[in-house]
Structure 1
Amino acid sequence: MMSNRWLILADDLTGAADCAIAFGRRGLAAAVTWDVTTSGDVSPDDSRPLPVLAYDADSRGLSASDAAERHRGLLERWLEPDRVLFKKIDSTLRGQPAAETAATMAYLMERTGAAFGICAPAFPATGRTTLAGHVHVAGRPLEDAEVWRRDHTYASANLGFVLGTAEIETTLVPLSAIRSSDLASRLARIAEGGPGVAICDAETDGDLARIAAASLAVAPVPFFIGSAGLAHALADTLAPAPTGAVHIPPSRSGSLIVVGSLAAASRAAMRRLAAQDHVVHLPVSPDTLLGDLAGRADLAARVAAVIAAGDDALVEIAIGDALDMSLGPRLARALAEALDPIATRIGAVAATGGETAAALLARFGIDGIRLVDEIEPGVSLGLTLGRLSIPVATKAGAFGDAESLIRISERLRAVRTQGSFS
């Protein structure tokens, strides 16, 4: 078996969380942080080593050179010799995965003299697969997907091309090889060829399980490049550890649920949740967030009234398809600033989109999440660390279906009213 100590380095918050909870569900203490002052050596209760540390590098919106520099600095700070490295990349290749992977390999070569990566970004539970080294969504090339049309960095979703933009040597391991009996020896031979990355096809969770098991035969231990699908497969190679129930004081205050993602999946789920009993829909426009102080104060007052009544406040950043994508970070920060005065009254919080979640939690004085469970693939559940200690759920914007936010709302309601995550 592999080491029980892992460093997950992600380019956004939701990705860090949905990878770390894979290990948390095996009984390993796992937390996500984005605050460089947080210690990676201790768990949230400060009494025992933290086996799984996930760090949000917040690098998705950076240039290639800035993202690479940030990753190198974080590796220097957090990658201890006994931790296995999981370089989390977006399953639809947003951000700068090539530059970040190249920086990771350069750092590993300097420190250990070896840098062999196994790349498998497939996440079959959310419709992401890899065939012939090419990323697919819902059975079609990624280039046909909404998320690619809205935001992409590269000219192609072929992983060999993507990593090649950073001059990384790659070897394709096709699906036939993934399902063959000699996969372990094949990966070991590729590793012997020197610094490089094995790009692994995967169409099912079973394929990812084969990749994870075969990786055990590679020495020294490779680093991994992928999304939560691969994280779950790797976690399943570890022996489960006993885990205790997590309890909190019950709360009558309602949940704050924020939808800041442009993804159609999140917008559809928002409409379904808005129609539920005990949910109050509160849309807010970009103009209000960016320039209307009275409107922002009114939003905070309305949210406070809703959650005081024990209902859920569903706050929608009401953005149209023509929105300038560069406004996204400003809108997320402005919403966080508007709601900060009422943060201590919130019973639980959920956010779609890593950028929105990170801005909201950081402004509320939260510097980490102790991960407890997974509501559904790509939706992690935990307890906030820092100024507030409340249940929190995070979801990538493009994940889930029309019922996802309803399931999140119901689970948060059960946790906060019963005082138990069980």
Structure 2
Amino acid sequence: MLLGCIGDDFTGSSDLANTLVKGGMAVTQYCGLPDGPAAPGVEAGVVALKTRSVPVAEAVEQSLAALDWLLAQGCRQIFFKYCSTFDSTPQGNIGPVIDALMDRLDAKTAIVCPAFPGTGRTLYQGHLFVGDRLLSESGMQDHPLTPMTDPDIRRWLSLQTPRKVGHVAHADVAKGAEGIAAGLARELAAGAGPVVVDAIADADLHAIGAAAEGLVLITGGSGVALGLPENFRRAGELAGGSDSFAGVDGPGVVLSGSCSRATRAQVARYKTNHPSLEVTADEVMSGKTTVATLRAFVLENQDAAPLVYSSADPEEVRRAQGVYGTETLAGAIETLFADLAGELARSGIRRIVSAGGETSGAVVRGLGCEALRIGPEIDPGVPALRVEGAELALALKSGNFGGEDFFERALAILSEKGAA
């Protein structure tokens, strides 16, 4: 294994795996820390964790365990993947995990670049944009678990780490790999550890990848991984691609727990042509909505690919959090989706589309997946996935990703005909 990747959620991990597959690497995505060694032929291993919103100490512990496993597989470079909207709070978890990885690897510097221009995430003068809006005006300021109220990634990261945060501005990035390398060296000499690097186009990301050839640790969104496979290819270390992907025929379902603007628009569109059932906080906490009631609804409508969703608007989310507590409510809904996914798979559902990072992590946990094969891209950052050893195909979508017709297209691509 050449490149070892640690993802802080399952949607982001599949996003990263998708990028590396398109770059020509043989990739396996692992659902949590593997029990044994990697199979032969894996060039990039992506260990998908669910650490984005857990306590800091737990996130650090799990990330270091993943690092140790990846190093044991022979990885020479480590990539820490987090969301392209830098989802975190001032108390963590991105900064503490970067610190722990730098300490364990004895890394003097680490690139920080959440940019993903293909999905509208760009980084300029250290500020993160979503489309033409600053991050803090993009809807992410209303995220129920990690509200992003400051678009300055340098300032936000500085709240999370005792290390000095550096910056390589786009004026240096525009000079290519040599300009970026010079900028990184300058920031290191000035005492910086993690260094925020601007990127506004894919060409910038390819240049960052080239500049990162000799670095042991890179962090960011999946976009910055665009340029990494070429380093290994140039050294003659890639075998030439991954295994073929086969879709799965059979009943499908959409499970949505994201409250993002994009997902709510996708839910609204899908509801017009498919049976749907809303999961409300009050009904979950009162016990009115259960796994049994949801399972019955899905199986009654399985021929029409039904939708089960908990994608309320921000005002309703805040009200429910005030009544039940943020962590208690989130845990109850995630457990519900996890148990539901397991029941549906045992009941013959063969294609599952999941929306939302926390929801997708719960779905994968409920299914008991160990590893995923990466298939064709459905939308930028969202590949089709096949569960190793099972007749089950998945799409794990980050909340803000995908067009309004994503759900229908995802279900089609997950089928054998669509994946062909």
TM-score range, shorter chain: 0.7 to 0.9
Distance 1:32 1:256 in 2: 22
**Secondary structure of the corresponding residue to residue 79 of structure 1:** helix
2:103 aligned residue: 106
Find out whether 1:66 has 2:58 as its counterpart.
yes
2:270 aligned residue: 273
Find out whether 1:170 has 2:165 as its counterpart.
yes
2:256 aligned residue: 259
Which residue of the other structure, out of 96, 111, 124, is the alignment partner of 1:118?
111
1:235-280, CA deviations, whole angstroms, 9 ceiling, x for partnerless residues? Answer: 35554714443336x53x221111110101001011112223xx32
* Contact 1:117–1:197 under 8 Å retained in 2: yes
Distance 2:338 2:184 in 1: 48
2:120 aligned residue: 127
Scaled by the length of structure 1, the TM-score of the pair is 0.85
Deviating above 4 A after TM superposition, structure 1's stretches of 4 or more consecutive aligned residues are: none
Find out whether 1:53 has 2:51 as its counterpart.
no
**Secondary structure of the corresponding residue to residue 370 of structure 2:** strand
1:273-299, CA deviations, whole angstroms, 9 ceiling, x for partnerless residues? Answer: 2223xx322323334434436754232
Which residue of the other structure, out of 22, 25, 28, is the alignment partner of 2:19?
22
* Contact 1:129–1:136 under 8 Å retained in 2: yes
**Secondary structure of the corresponding residue to residue 419 of structure 2:** coil
1:206 aligned residue: 203
- TM-aligned CA distance change 1:97 to 1:153, over 3 Å: farther
Distance 1:64 1:170 in 2: 19
1:183 aligned residue: 179
1:337 aligned residue: 339
1:342-394, CA deviations, whole angstroms, 9 ceiling, x for partnerless residues? Answer: 313012111011211121222122223111222111212110136x4311111
**Secondary structure of the corresponding residue to residue 234 of structure 1:** helix
Distance 2:246 2:130 in 1: 38
* Contact 1:13–1:354 under 8 Å retained in 2: yes
What is the aligned-residue RMSD (CA, Å)? Answer: 2.6
Distance 1:91 1:188 in 2: 21
What is the Cα deviation at residue 106 of structure 1?
1.2
**Secondary structure of the corresponding residue to residue 175 of structure 2:** coil
**Secondary structure of the corresponding residue to residue 306 of structure 2:** strand
Alignment of 1:65-104 (within 5 A): 65-80=57-72, 81-95=74-88, 96-104=93-101
Find out whether 1:301 has 2:300 as its counterpart.
no
1:45 aligned residue: none
The alignment covers a number of residue pairs equal to 396
- TM-aligned CA distance change 1:287 to 1:85, over 3 Å: same
What is the Cα deviation at residue 107 of structure 1?
1.1
Mean Cα deviation higher: 91-100 or 183-192: 183-192
Distance 2:3 2:246 in 1: 26
1:86-117, CA deviations, whole angstroms, 9 ceiling, x for partnerless residues? Answer: 111222221321111111111111xxxx3321
Distance 1:141 1:294 in 2: 38
Distance 2:149 2:294 in 1: 41
**Secondary structure of the corresponding residue to residue 366 of structure 1:** coil
Distance 2:341 2:206 in 1: 43
* Contact 2:140–2:149 under 8 Å retained in 1: no
Given residue 359 of structure 2, which amino acid in structure 1 is its aligned partner?
T
Mean Cα deviation higher: 121-130 or 153-162: 153-162
Scaled by the length of structure 2, the TM-score of the pair is 0.86
Given residue 86 of structure 1, which amino acid in structure 2 is its aligned partner?
F
Given residue 375 of structure 1, which amino acid in structure 2 is its aligned partner?
I
- TM-aligned CA distance change 1:73 to 1:361, over 3 Å: closer
**Secondary structure of the corresponding residue to residue 375 of structure 1:** strand
1:393 aligned residue: 395
* Contact 1:289–1:296 under 8 Å retained in 2: no
Identity of aligned residues (%): 23
Which residue of the other structure, out of 342, 349, 353, is the alignment partner of 1:350?
353
